[in-house]
Amino acid sequence: MTSPDLRDPALRDPALDAPTAGAATRLRFAAVRSRLRLPSAYRRPMAIVGFTIIALWFIVAIFVPWIAPFDPLAQQFDRLQPPGPVNWFGTDSLGRDVLSRTLYGARISLPLALILVVASAIIGSVLGAIAGYFGRAVDEVIMRVADLVFAFPTIILAMIVTAALGPSLTNAVIALLFVSWPSYARVMRSMVLGARSREYVVAGRLLGFSPFRSLQRDILPNVAAPVLVLATLDFGNAILLLSGLSFLGLGATPPTPEWGAMVADGVQNFSDWWLAAFPGLAIFTVVVAFNLVGDALRDSLDPRTAGAVQGVKI
């Protein structure tokens, strides 16, 4: 049994050793398990779909040289061929295989989006945590800068920054980093503000924890979940923004097979639908998949971790 106090029966938690409320224990442990595992997906078919799609795309990104039928850059076919037995997704205006280019696109969009999300989550969380914990002037400065960034439409601000730095994928990522950290900072700040006055945080301070130790030990591990959810949901957004910048000619430069750039290419050859449709479909599936997973993650983390923290009561 889980009860550590077996000597004195009166001290035992009825919820721990009662036959009835072994239920309570089971509930608690279920909550912990679902926190350690990824969402108990058997109850959420949509999450499974999302996970599968994401896993497939990552497999594609890693093994694309063996998967793709042709070289994505080789101009070896007739131009603008519709989908057929050789080129399943057709060919583009330079005679390249659209299927191979779409598959290779995963190698560009996925890692960049990952870097973008991870970096902005870290930067935003750290700034937000500092603002929330230390308050006063530090808080004012950080959050006013965040407000300033928020005040601009995201894509326009990103365009301005990329235009200033010069069009390239690296600069696009930097620009997007600049516009996407504030949402993490806001979430983290409010979480830290709430957590700062919790009793275990105060208890830690009374035991002589310095503010940074208190943040690192007591606060951050307990507020990480919402940021993780936000990051998952943000992943799709990051891919869209990256593609958007490339579509506008501010991201990937030819001949890089980036999805957004490919869609842009397709728009110029409007009658040849396959040029834009297949990379567009790739963007669509990744974005939807990440949203599904993010939703499931949010559902499974929010009420249950709250339950596990408060102690599930029946």
Partner 1 sequence: MSDTTPHGLSLRGLTLELGSKGSATQILRGIDLDIPAGSITGLAGESGSGKTMTGLAICGLQPAGSRLGGTISYTGPRGSAPNLLALKPRAMNALRGREIAMIFQDPTASLHPMITIEAQLTDGMRHHLHVSRSEARTRALALLSRVRVPDPETALKKYPHQFSGGQLQRIAIAIALASEPSVLIADEPTTALDVTVQAGILRLLRELCDTLDLAILLVTHDLGVMSALADTVTVMRYGEVVEHGSRYQVIREPQSAYTKSLIDALPHPPAAVPDAAAAAAPVLGKDAL
Partner 2 sequence: MAGHLTVRDAHVTYKLPGRRLLAAVDGVSFDLAPGEVLGLVGESGCGKSTLARAICGLEPLSSGTVTFDGQSIPTLGLRRRPAHLLRIQMVFQNPYSSLNPRRRVGDQIADGLAIAPASERSSVAQLLDDVELDRNAAGMFPHQFSGGQRQRIAIARAMGARPDILVGDEPIASLDASLQAKVATLMRDVALKNGASLLFISHDLSVVRVVADRVAVMQAGRIVETGPVASVWSAPADPYTQRLLAAIPTADGLGRLPAA
Q: Does 209 bind partner 2 (CB under 8 A)?
A: yes
Q: Does 7 bind partner 2 (CB under 8 A)?
A: yes
The option from partner 1, partner 2, none interacting with 200 (CB < 5 to 8 A, set by class) reads partner 2
The option from partner 1, partner 2, none interacting with 221 (CB < 5 to 8 A, set by class) reads partner 2
CA nearest to 170, candidates 53, 232, 258: 258
Give the amino acid at 166. G
Which residues from 211-250 bind partner 2, rule CB under 8 A?
211, 217-218, 221-222
Number of C-alpha atoms within 13 angstroms, CB side, residue 56?
12
CB of 293 to partner 1, least distance (A): 25
The option from partner 2, partner 1, none interacting with 37 (CB < 5 to 8 A, set by class) reads none
Q: Does 197 bind partner 1 (CB under 8 A)?
A: no
19 versus 208: smaller Cβ distance to partner 1:
19
Q: Classify 71 in phi/psi space as left (phi over 0), alpha (psi -120 to 50) or beta.
A: beta
* Residue recorded with tokens 């900072």: 185
Which residues from 12-71 bind partner 1, rule CB under 8 A?
13-15, 18-24, 26
Type and span of the H or E element at 84? none
Q: Does 189 bind partner 2 (CB under 8 A)?
A: no
Helices (H), the chain: 14-17, 22-36, 45-67, 98-134, 136-151, 154-165, 169-196, 199-206, 211-214, 220-247, 259-268, 274-310
CB of 294 to partner 2, least distance (A): 22
CB of 216 to partner 2, least distance (A): 11
Tell me the three state secondary structure of residue 172.
Answer: helix
Query: What are the DSSP calls for 286-305, one per residue?
Result: HHHHHHHHHHHHHHHHHHHH
Q: Which residue stretch of 7-15, 69-77, 80-88, 182-190 sits at the interface with partner 1 (rule: CB under 8 A)?
A: 7-15
Give the contacts of 244 (CB within 8 A, at least 6 positions apart).
155, 260
Which residues from 117-136 bind partner 2, rule CB under 8 A?
134
Give the contacts of 132 (CB within 8 A, at least 6 positions apart).
139, 188, 189, 190, 191, 192, 193, 196
152 versus 212: smaller Cβ distance to partner 2:
212
Q: Does 307 bind partner 1 (CB under 8 A)?
A: no
The option from partner 2, partner 1, none interacting with 18 (CB < 5 to 8 A, set by class) reads partner 1
Number of residues forming the site for partner 2 (CB under 8 A): 38
Can you tell me which of 203, 281, 302, 303 binds partner 2, judged by CB under 8 A?
203
Q: Does 144 bind partner 1 (CB under 8 A)?
A: no
Q: How far apart are CA 185 and CA 143, in angstroms?
A: 8
Q: How far apart are CA 114 and CA 97, in angstroms?
A: 26
CA nearest to 288, candidates 58, 47, 105: 47
CB of 310 to partner 2, least distance (A): 6
The option from partner 2, partner 1, none interacting with 208 (CB < 5 to 8 A, set by class) reads partner 2
19 versus 85: smaller Cβ distance to partner 1:
19
Q: Tell whether omega for the bond before 255 is within 30 degrees of 0, i.e. cis.
A: yes
**Chain residues that interact with partner 2, rule: CB under 8 A:** 2, 4-8, 10-16, 28, 31-32, 134, 198-200, 202-211, 217-218, 221-222, 308-311
**Chain residues that interact with partner 1, rule: CB under 8 A:** 10, 13-15, 18-24, 26, 313-314
